[in-house]
Amino acid sequence: MLDARVQEKGTLVKSNAAAERRALGEARKIYNLPFNDLLFRAQSIHRAYFDPNAVQMSQLLSIKTGGCAEDCGYCSQSAHYPTGIKASKLMEVERVVAQARKAKEGGATRYCMGAAWRSPKERDMETIVSMVEGVKALGMETCMTLGMLTPAQSDRLADAGLDYYNHNIDTSERFYGEIITTRTFADRLETLANVREAGIKVCAGGILGMGETVDDRIAMLVTLANLPAAPESVPINMLIPIHGSKLADQPPVDPIDFVRTIALARILMPQSHVRLSAGRTEMSDEMQALCFFAGANSIFVGERLLTADNPGEDHDAALFRRLGLKPMPVQPAEAEPAE
């Protein structure tokens, strides 16, 4: 019996690996289409599921900055690198809610609160829950990114009414170990499963420009698209090189490769919100326009991300005017997990 089970499991693993290889092959073909064909395909799919001129607007706040025990090679907040970021304590609930109110006045519909933790401590959970409740009471969607979560912590956040949890896989499984050694790719997938199981919507994506190959980027998107349910939100970050971090001197990403990656994300995850995330201060308006055409339909607004700069309200208002874009209202349909 045991043998049969092991054999069955072996077959299952083998057939999953075969399916993944097929998916990877398909994704490579799409990625390498002539640029115009790729963008036409991505834009056609985008229009079938979304208003092509509407962009969802989220705003970030670092509720606990720096001093993080993890060694993520890209991060300003890791205690492993001399980045010059000072560690701070968890913010008070009232201050967080006051900042969220300002973000709402600036047009953000979702408030994303991030903490530089490996995972939340039990003693902080009550404060975190109050933050979710306070921001929700403003009528905003809530998102948190606090590191790894257990099933019990995920349930507690779900009960508090948390709408989204952000936890990125960052890159391909193959390249992951070059960037982070203090937690594994499998740990990341486990947190995503716990969040999904608790009924919280999933926000998961990665970073381009860390020294990965184009194939790593494609593999990352294939992994995300083949989760039991695709993430509702897929942030694609362009590395912001942080002075003192392990990745301080990476060369910039080729803008056309970046746009191709956005297009592939849109094609592989037609119903997900694809977010043009970190790195917009280094992108021209033309590059951002191409990203929106390729299917990006979400951004972070405001002057600041967690610790790094973001274009800010005036620049984004001008960009939206130039491109005829408008803010996306909160949609009840978004509540359905994508197939």
Binding mask 8-47 for ligand DTB (x = CB under 6 A): ----------------------------------------
CA dihedral over 317, 323, 326, 331, signed as positive or negative: negative
Judged by CB under 6 A, the stretch of 117-125, 178-186, 291-299, 302-310 that binds ligand DTB is: 302-310
Residues 6+ apart with CB under 8 A from 80: 70, 71
**From ligand SAM, ligand DTB, ligand SF4, none, which one binds at residue 78 (CB under 5 to 8 Å depending on kind)?**
ligand SF4
Let me know: does 149 contact 120? Beta carbons within 8 Å: yes
Exposed (0-12), middle (13-18) or buried (19+): which is 54, by Cβ within 10 Å? Answer: middle
Subset of 140-159 contacting ligand DTB (CB under 6 A)? 145
Please state whether beta strands 164-166 and 141-145 pair in parallel, antiparallel, or not at all (unpaired).
parallel
Exposed (0-12), middle (13-18) or buried (19+): which is 173, by Cβ within 10 Å? Answer: middle
Q: Does 247 bind ligand SF4 (CB under 6 A)?
A: no
Q: Which residues are catalytic?
A: 68, 72, 75, 112, 143, 203, 275
By CB under 6 A, how many residues form the interface with ligand SF4?
Answer: 8
Q: Does 170 bind ligand SAM (CB under 6 A)?
A: yes
**Beta-strand (E) ranges in 210-312?**
233-238, 273-276, 298-301
Subset of 144-203 contacting ligand SF4 (CB under 6 A)? 147
Cα–Cα separations (whole angstroms), residue 50 to 14, 84, 154, 295, 296: 36, 42, 29, 9, 11
Can you tell me which of 77, 83, 245, 297 binds ligand SF4, judged by CB under 6 A? Answer: 77
Kindly state the tokens that stand for 24.
Answer: 């990877």
Subset of 188-227 contacting ligand DTB (CB under 6 A)? 205
Chain residues that interact with ligand SF4, rule: CB under 6 A:
68, 70, 72, 75, 77-78, 116, 147
Chain residues that interact with ligand SAM, rule: CB under 6 A:
74-75, 114, 116-117, 145, 147, 167-168, 170, 207, 237, 239-240, 242, 278, 306
